[in-house]
Structure 1
Amino acid sequence: MSLCRCLSLGLLFSVSLTLYGCGDDNPAATNSAGFAGLGQDADGFQHAEPNRAISFPQDHAAHPDYRIEWWYLTANLEDADGEPLGLQWTLFRQALMAPSERPDPTPWAADQLWMAHMAISQGEQHQVAERFGRSHSQAVLTTPDDSQAGVIASPFQAWLDDWQLKASDEADSTNFDNLTLTAYSGEGDTRFGYSLTLSAEGPLVLHGEQGFSQKAANGQGSLYYSQPFWQIEGDVTLNGETKTVSGRGWLDREWSSQLLDARQSGWDWFSIHFADGHKLMAFQLRSGGGSESSDDSEQSSGYRSGTWITPQGDATPLTTDDITLTPLATSTVAGRDVPTHWRLEVPSVAVDINIEAPHANRWMTTSVPYWEGEVVVNDRASGAPLGEGYLEMTGY
């Protein structure tokens, strides 16, 4: 790596800490601006609003006039011995300045910051890696050779350096149904990563009101859709050993300019694959600190939402009144008390389940720290196993 590259990435890292207000001991991560600054003012940026039609394949690509965006894959897999394995790959984009303030493109001008996370989890093992990149919003991208990081719609490609999620070679150029994912970190015995194929066995799902997902009572929100029907196969390398794996994945796509109300400190997000083919996405935005405040204004900033998805991909939006989330037990992880055992109730679809993380040590030791890991799902009354999924918790 050249000196210029090292200096530029070091500068980007410093900028990211300032922008996101993060770091293990930085109170800005849970201050009144919300987790990682996602409740900050967004004047000058385009805002997510209802009645903004989502269009494919165009909206698979980046939206640089919005402040924040991500392409977020989680997967519940098994190796050839039937041992569970969890996987995450995420590409984040952050606009460094509003569209009207952007400089003309030059080799040194960059108005978009990119950050990618990858993780592999099996048993007590939890390996995490992070990368940063930059781009200019006006750059014309057709291949990864055009920029260090970026996303284009057709043929679909999302990348940061050689970490790439892209349409498979035999896929139609506008097809999002068949992708490959490649990401590795480290060298020799410390090398870990994966080479995977993703095949969709169901449709894309729009959340909320035709893709507008409200996040607060005052109407703030994001544009949000998922591909919850991935079947995944491939190879995973962990501790110098390469294993063949297969299982189910869930890809989230979300973009916004002010994701949180300024009083919201973070969220708890669940994606569930039921054994009968149904799927469930549910989240809650927390007000204040880790628990709800008794103050009325703080209580009103808490918010819950979700989507009930049939095996055919038909989606039913769920509102705050439809969902009850109750933490049942906590684990001490990275010096924090994090709820790793939950009860989730959705009476309208006869769901009353326990959701538990088999392994608590899934703390993402990244510049924006959070908890992300596999969960198992059981019937609340009988204890019978019902499925599996992923849980993300931020702002703790």
Structure 2
Amino acid sequence: MNARSVLSTFSAVIMLCNAFGGTASAQGFAGLGTTAEGFAVPQPGIALNFSVDHGSHPNYRIEWWYLTANLKSADGTEYGVQWTLFRSALAPGEKTGWSSPQVWMGHAAMTTQRQQYVAERLARGGVGQAGVTASPFAAWIDDWQMQSLVGGSQQDGLSDIEIKAAGAKFRYDLRLHATGPLVLQGQNGYSVKSAKGQASYYYSQPFYSVEGKLVLPEGEVAVTGQAWLDREWSSQPLAADQTGWDWFSLHLDSGEKLMGFRLRDGGSGFTSTTWISAEGKPTPLPPGTLKLTPLDTARVAGRDIPVAWRIELPSRNLNITTTALNREAWMATRTPYWEGPISFKGSHTGRGYLEMTGY
């Protein structure tokens, strides 16, 4: 690699950190409210295309493949796992080699009742270090992988996948099988994020059953459980005054699922909710339907983080309170945030994941 390539790569990594990092500003949390000039912008009424949309969309500025898993060992000990690949474009389009404007970041985490293990990777596009292919589906950064275990164009590449990642003190190798369909969030995959109309394309696979192994400092553990994959891409997903979000993915013991988030703006915020039947039929609910109330906070990384919540959805007679597996599930990455497994009880019971940014 010559000096010019080194400088180009360093500059891209710094811009990637700026794209995902930092604190809330006049450009929205992590710069996600920055004007999308020159990039493609999501439009309503566009049908998503599978399996093409499992791959990357280089004309959009930001994109992610984001998986969380609620796991248990044979003795009932609970764990959480996260695998995420982010793509950020310095300019629209793709080129080969070091001239590629695409840069990548990976996050991997494992949560126990007492520990939060976290690792982060950065990569430049165009040279094979990181990327995503739609068919056969594969997403990777260095030796971290999310890849399809099925072959042929007639099968959904996300129906059976394997994920692998490792950090300094943890490693996991999991196989996931979808027991339900892909779910379109928002209006047929067009997910509005603000009253001003910012939006993303967004779909999920919330019906994974999981089996595999975790490797921790104390040894190897066989686990089973449930997982949820989110796919999302946009160029300006937030309004400039939105300072962060509280996002929930819930597996109800009834077999139903719920995705809900609140984007904070200094006022009442903007909420979005999808109720998903046990058979996989999504019902998007109007903004303001979901009510989220913090019940308790923990002092984490010098910040007060709301780690217990009441979630109310009157139209579904849902009134639950959440409990974090680990109240200090802090992602000490370049863009720090709280993320970890939760359980809930009340009108409904089950498990899920909570992500909170901008605190």
Classify the TM-score, shorter chain. Answer: over 0.9
Q: Which has the higher helix share?
A: 1
Offset at 1:348?
Answer: 0.8
2:132 counterpart (143, 147, 151): 151
Instruction: List gaps (5 residues or longer) in structure 1.
Output: 23-28, 137-145, 293-298
| Native 8 Å contact 2:58 2:92 kept in 1 | no
Structure 1 CA distance, aligned partners of 2:246 and 2:34?
19
Offset at 1:150?
Answer: 0.8
1:125 aligns with 2:106: no
Structure 2 CA distance, aligned partners of 1:7 and 1:375?
42
**Secondary structure of the corresponding residue to residue 354 of structure 2:** strand
Superposed CA deviations along residues 97-120 of structure 1, whole A, max 9, x for unmatched, are 234xx7x54x32120010000000
Structure 2 CA distance, aligned partners of 1:43 and 1:120?
37
Structure 1 CA distance, aligned partners of 2:210 and 2:10?
35
1:274 counterpart (249, 252, 266): 252
**Secondary structure of the corresponding residue to residue 18 of structure 1:** helix
Corresponding residue number in structure 1 for 2:101 = 111
**Amino acid of the structure 1 residue aligned with 2:134:** A
| Native 8 Å contact 1:9 1:132 kept in 2 | no
Corresponding residue number in structure 2 for 1:162 = 143
2:324 counterpart (357, 360, 369): 357
Superposed CA deviations along residues 257-279 of structure 1, whole A, max 9, x for unmatched, are 00100010010000000111011
**CA RMSD, 1 decimal:** 2.1
Offset at 1:6?
Answer: 8.1
Offset at 1:32?
Answer: 1.7
Alignment of 1:1-396 (within 5 A): 10-22=10-22, 29-99=23-93, 105=96, 107-136=97-126, 147-168=128-149, 170-173=150-153, 174-175=155-156, 176-186=158-168, 190=169, 192-239=170-217, 241-288=219-266, 292=267, 299=268, 302-379=269-346, 386-396=349-359
**Amino acid of the structure 2 residue aligned with 1:48:** P
Offset at 1:11?
Answer: 4.3
Instruction: List gaps (5 residues or longer) in structure 2.
Output: none
What TM-score comes out, normalization by structure 2 length?
A: 0.94
Superposed CA deviations along residues 48-71 of structure 1, whole A, max 9, x for unmatched, are 111111010000000000010000
Structure 1 CA distance, aligned partners of 2:41 and 2:212?
38
| Native 8 Å contact 1:280 1:309 kept in 2 | yes
Taking structure 1 as reference, are residues 6 and 235 closer, same or farther at Cα in structure 2, changes over 3 Å only?
A: farther
**Amino acid of the structure 2 residue aligned with 1:315:** P
Structure 1 CA distance, aligned partners of 2:129 and 2:288?
44
Offset at 1:14?
Answer: 2.3
**Amino acid of the structure 1 residue aligned with 2:160:** N
Q: Determine what percentage of the aligned residue pairs are the same residue.
A: 48
**Secondary structure of the corresponding residue to residue 98 of structure 2:** coil
What TM-score comes out, normalization by structure 1 length?
A: 0.86
Structure 2 CA distance, aligned partners of 1:19 and 1:205?
28
| Native 8 Å contact 2:324 2:340 kept in 1 | yes
What is the number of residues matched between the two proteins? 357
